[in-house]
Amino acid sequence: MPHRDAAYNLARWILRGRAQAEDVTQEAFLRAYRSFGAFQTGNARAWLLQIVRNCCFTWLQQNHVAEEMTEFDEQTMPPKTEDPESLAMATYDRERLQRALEDLPAHFREIIVLRELEGCSYKEIAAITTRPIGTVMSALARARQQLRTLLTEPVPKGASRDL
């Protein structure tokens, strides 16, 4: 099955759990199969990932996952400035990165995963998330900044989620 890893990886990070990611990936593949008529030519990966992320957000809504679900809006979320000292303090071990990425709002999580883990271009991310490219660009800048902020915060007590 092509793009199986890409689909699962995106679901795993949006949903923050393996079992949910398996269920939702399977559902997304079924949905993709049933609606393949709507897909003619072009980027099969982007088309499939768009279905996956839609299934993920539906799942989050249906399961009332308590998290920030509001769409990224540049007007209400103006960029903050970072000072170089805090940049230097960020720690980057695997556990911290995993936790910080999971602590990002869902719409930031997906954009970091698509760009940094999946290597998608801006154009692909715009297609997958059905947002204008300009919004993708500002959301990505904000997501990276917030990720770094989370990495500079003191480590909270508590068990880490499994990967």
Partner 1 sequence: MTCDLSQTRLHAYFDGELDAMGAAEFERHLESCPDCETRLAAEEKLRSALAGAQLYARAPENLRKNLLISLPKAAVPPPLKDPKPSAAESWRWLAIAASVILALLLGTQYMEKLNRHLQQQAMAAVIVDAHLRSLQPGHLEDVISTDQHTVKPWFDGKIDFAPPVRDFANDGFPLVGGRLDVLEGRSAAALVYGRRKHIVNVFVTKTQPGDASDRSGELQGYHWVAWQQNGFTFTAVSDTAYADLDQLKQLFLAP
Residue ranges binding partner 1 (CB under 8 A)? 1-2, 4-9, 12-13, 18, 21-22, 25-26, 29-30, 32-34, 36, 39-42, 44-45, 47-48, 79, 81-84, 87, 90, 92-94, 97-98, 101, 112, 115-117, 119-122, 124, 134, 137-138, 140-141, 144, 147-148, 151, 163
| Tokens at 33, concatenated | 């199969």
CB of 138 to partner 1, least distance (A): 6
Nearest approach, Cβ of 39 to partner 1 (angstroms)?
A: 4
Choose between 36 and 58: whose C-beta lies nearer to partner 1: 36
| Count, residues in the chain | 163
Report the greatest alpha carbon distance in the chain.
Answer: 53
Closest CA to 151 of 107, 86, 105, 106: 86
Q: Which C-beta is closer to partner 1: that of 84 or that of 156?
A: 84
Q: Which residues contact 25 (CB under 8 A, 6 or more apart)?
A: 4, 7, 8, 11, 52
Beta carbon nearer to partner 1, 85 or 154: 85
Minimum distance, C-beta of residue 129 to partner 1, in the bound complex (Å):
16
- 57 to 7, 20, 41, 84, 101: CA distances (angstroms): 14, 12, 25, 35, 17
Closer CB to partner 1, residue 64 or residue 93? Answer: 93
